[in-house]
Amino acid sequence: MTTRSSFALLAVAASACGGTKPDVVVPAPAVAAEPAAPDAPDAPDSAAAPYSVFDRAAAAITPEFLREQIAKLGSDELEGRGPTTRGDVAARGYLASQLAAYGYEPGGQGGSWEQSFDLVGVTAAMPKTWAFARGGKKLSLAWWDQYIAGSGVQAERGSVKNAEVVFVGYGITAPEYGWDDFKGQDVRGKVLLMLNSDPDWDPALFAGSSRLYYGRWSYKYESAARAGAVGAIIIHTTPSAGYPFQVVQSSWTGEQFELPAAGAATVVVKGWVTESAAGQLVALAGKKLPELVEAARSKDFRPVPLGVTTSLAFTNKVHRAPTANVLGLLRGSDPKLRDEVVVVTAHHDHLGIGKPNAAGDSIYNGALDNGAGCAQVLAIAKALASLPARPRRSVQVVFVAAEEQGLLGSAYYAANPSFPPGAIAANVNFDGGNIWGKTKDVTYIGKGKSSLDGIVEEIATRQGRTVKPDQFPDRGFFYRSDQFNFAKIGVPALYLSTGTEFVGKPSGWGTEQLRHYETTNYHQPTDQLAADWTFEGMVEDATIGLWTAYQVAQRDEVPSWTPGDEFEAARKAALAARKAAASPR
């Protein structure tokens, strides 16, 4: 890249152009001032928190502020903020310095701003071809164009030798839907070929067209590992994945990070193949892919051994290195509620430096993903700190690490939370943002799942906007960002995203912009701040996040999951655990 953004808190000793790594020096963040004595608590409901007070705080959220933050976080100097890199360290230092300047307390380990943890980085050297055979027939799938694979083991070598390939449909076991793609068949030691997504043709099954976690790639590999398979291959299609194969190419190559293995089952190889390659693979067995796909749509489906064997051997470069979530705390003012917290999140990482594109650019800046999310959370943090009276509950701002590697930072936080899960009132998450203009609507991913709906509706109505659920439900966005890990421990959570009805634009224009970003810039070096980005719509979306966090912090009642929701049981367990911990013994 040739554009360089001035970065006040970074000293850069060399050019970042074209992927050359500069020496980045990050000063320690400013020490937060001693917190003032708690203010008298505001009254519990929105009527006692006048809009005039809120509006003055919301004035901190401006287009200029958002652009400035994205310019800094998405600059070449941060080298794409790859986990454990200098850019990662620089981004964390910058975010902590901002929270300190707003008056937040460090919320990390030992009075620091960071919740540190180790990642294991694995760079797999996969062969140029992946070999399959049946009898005297052979098939070689070409690396990059036909297959992409990652290592499932944190070791210097991995191999699969003469393993049988079995087609297992969607690879799903879901007792609540009476669905089992394995039917008790022993697939230990085999390589499983499976469809992406989940069954979507019946509203009574798997939420119909709305994708559940069963449809996520991470579930597929977990399912294969639980079954004792040595490998799993997901058949990629753009409709089922929600993104083109080039996203698999950019996201699954180079160094891949995981939390250190702790004895959990894993497959040796995690593969993806194109639809055409999958067709060739099953043809080796005398099968037709469309017929197998159709058979997989039935509850009566049984695994189909293909009589095909496969071998694959690869080497790994393995190293262990630290990263961290950045945590800041705005302590609540109500003595009875300050031990409860609203957690506002955005992931600070992106993909770092990777394969150059046609223009020779190798820095994956991640300006929108997720410089924009971090910018909105910084704006919300600044606004909350500017209120004349602190919120009743505490607010914790968490910039999580390694989201792009599989939500790892939020997974670590959820396993090691600063507050007990039963004391976390809600999570408000930002991932991406609106860079195209004002909208008549806002997308609320998680709508219908919790009582947060009413709070979001209230402020959106005041803005003259409508609230819509996930407008691409088949892509399973609720399970694709960090709010998912909060939901898994029972915390009511939402993810605010851009609407699609843009003011002054024809119908369908917004969807076109989103799809263009997805096919051209998503997880590519071209995700950079551009002169034509506009931030008025992002201001309105961030204001909804501010209102939601503030109202959850102010009200007597905490949000709850909708009765029957998949996360309701986890919430009840978290609240019961907190109550038991508080009971005298």
DSSP 347-373: E----EE-S--TTS--EE--IIIIIIH
Token reading at 335: 């003595």
- Residue whose tokens read 């980045």: 24
Does the bond joining 429 to the residue before it have cis omega, within 30 degrees of 0? no
Residues whose CB falls within 8 Å of the CB of residue 136, separated by 6 or more in sequence, listed in order: none
* Residues 367 and 499 reside in one and the same domain: yes
DSSP codes, 401-446: S-GGGTSHHHHHHHHS-SS-GGGEEEEEEE-S---S--BSEEEEET
Q: Over 60: is that where the pLDDT of 45 sits?
A: no
Please report, as a single letter, which amino acid is at residue 468: K
Nearest residue to 357 (alpha-carbon basis) of 525, 517, 245: 525
Alpha-helix runs per DSSP H in 82-162:
86-102
Q: Is residue 509 part of a domain?
A: yes
How many folded domains does the chain comprise? 2
Task: Decide if pLDDT at 39 tops 80.
Answer: no
* CA gap 5, 281 in Å, rounded: 48
Beta-sheet pairing, 363-364 with 255-258: unpaired
Least confident of 120-134, 255-269, 310-324, 525-539: 255-269
* Pair 387, 36: CB distance under 8 Å: no
Residues 102 and 126 in one domain: no
Please tell me the predicted confidence (pLDDT) of residue 51. Answer: 83
Q: Could you write out the DSSP letters of every residue in 469-520?
A: --SSGGG-GGGSSTHHHHHHTT--EEEEEE-S-BTTS-TTHHHHHHHHHHHH
- Beta bridge partner(s), residue 258: 120
- Which pLDDT band, with edges at 50, 70 and 90, does 585 fall under? low
144 and 248 part of one domain: yes
Contact yes or no for 29/96 (Cβ under 8 A): yes
Report the CATH number at residue 291: 3.50.30.30
For residue 313, report the phi and psi dihedrals to the nearest 5 degrees.
-130, 140
Clarify whether residues 97 and 138 are in a common domain: no
Q: Which domain holds residue 560?
A: 45-106+331-582
Residue 10 has pLDDT above 70, yes or no: no
What CATH number corresponds to the domain at position 560? 3.40.630.10
Tell which wins on pLDDT, 542 or 251.
542
Q: Hey, what are 371's tokens?
A: 């410089």
Mean pLDDT of 557-580: 96
Q: Comparing 133-142, 237-246, 281-290, 540-549, which segment has the lowest mean pLDDT?
A: 237-246
Together in a domain, 230 and 341 = no
Q: pLDDT grade, residue 489 (50/70/90)?
A: very high
Q: Mean pLDDT lowest for which of 10-24, 115-129, 449-463?
A: 10-24
Q: Helices 452-462 and 536-554 meet at what angle, rounded to 10?
A: 130
> Amino acid identity of 365?
N
| Between residues 294 and 208, the one the model is more confident about | 294
Burial of 53 (0-12, 13-18, 19+ CB in 10 A): middle
Instruction: Judge whether 26 lies within some domain.
Output: no
Query: What is the average per-residue pLDDT within 184-194?
Result: 98
Determine the pLDDT at residue 203: 76
Q: Name the residue among 372, 366, 354 with its Cα closest to residue 526.
A: 366
Q: Do residues 64 and 175 both lie within one domain? A: no
The pLDDT score that the predictor gives to residue 279 is 99
The alpha-helical segments, DSSP class H, found in 299-428 are: 373-385, 408-415
H-run or E-run covering 579: helix 568-582
Structural domain includes residue 36: no
Domain assignment present for 488:
yes
pLDDT at 15 over 50: no
Output the pLDDT for position 558.
Answer: 96
* Of 90, 93, 66, residue with least CA distance to 79: 90
Q: What is the dihedral angle through the alpha carbons of 459, 460, 463, 464, rounded to the nearest 10 degrees?
A: -140
Among 297, 318, 339, where does a domain finish?
318
Written as six digits, the tokens of 483 are: 């709010």
Return contacts of 515-518, CB within 8 angstroms, 24+ apart: 517/368, 518/242, 518/243, 518/244
| Residue 4 lies inside a defined structural domain of this protein | no
Asked if the model's pLDDT at residue 452 lies above 60, the reply is yes
Of 286, 318, 350, the domain-final residue: 318
pLDDT score of 444: 95
Q: Are residues 244 and 362 in the same domain?
A: no
Query: Does 97 lie in the same domain as 214?
Result: no
Q: Please, which residues bridge with residue 12 across strands? A: 24
Per the model's pLDDT, the better-predicted residue between 232 and 31 turns out to be 232
The token pair at 293 is 């796909």
Kindly report the pTM of this predicted structure. Answer: 0.84
Domain's final residue, options 283, 318, 353: 318
Same domain assignment for residues 450 and 482:
yes
Residues 554 and 411 in one domain: yes
Q: Is 121 helix (H, G, I), strand (E, B) or coil?
A: strand
pLDDT tens sequence across 364-405:
999 999 999 999 999 999 999 999 999 999 999 999 999 999
Task: Extract the tokens encoding 450.
Answer: 């919790």
Of 34-38, 196-200, 359-363, 474-478, which gets the smallest average pLDDT?
A: 34-38
Question: What mean pLDDT do residues 81-92 have?
Answer: 98
Is residue 514 scored above 70 in pLDDT? yes
Residue 477 has pLDDT above 80, yes or no: yes
Joined tokens for residue 261: 């293995």
Cα–Cα distance list, 159 to 192, 485, 508 (Å)? 15, 32, 48
Q: Are strands 191-195 and 231-236 parallel, antiparallel or unpaired?
A: parallel
CB 366 within 8 A of CB 403: no
In the chain, pLDDT over 70 holds for what percent of residues? 91
| pLDDT above 60: residue 458 | yes
Three-class DSSP category at 54? helix
Residues in a beta bridge with 443: 468, 497
Q: What percentage of the chain reaches a pLDDT higher than 90?
A: 83
State phi, psi for 306 to the nearest 5 degrees. Answer: -90, -10
Contact 76/363 with Cβ under 8 angstroms? Answer: yes
pLDDT for 484: 97
Nearby residues of 313 by Cβ (< 8 Å), 6 or more positions away: 127, 157, 158, 159, 160, 161
| Higher pLDDT pick, 426 / 212 | 426
Q: Is the same domain home to 413 and 507?
A: yes
- The overall average pLDDT reported for the chain is 91
pLDDT of residue 30 exceeding 90: no
| Residue 32 located in a structural domain | no
294-314 mean pLDDT: 97
* Number of residues that this document lists for the chain: 585
Rounded CA separation 374/432 (Å): 8
The tens digit of pLDDT for each residue in 105-155 reads 999 999 999 999 999 999 999 999 999 999 999 999 999 999 999 999 999
Task: Specify whether 531 is located in the same domain as 465.
Answer: yes
pLDDT score of 3 more than 60: no
CA atoms within 13 A on the CB side of 106: 18
Residue 24 lies in a domain: no
Between 28 and 548, residue with greater pLDDT: 548
The answer to whether residue 73 sits within a structural domain is yes
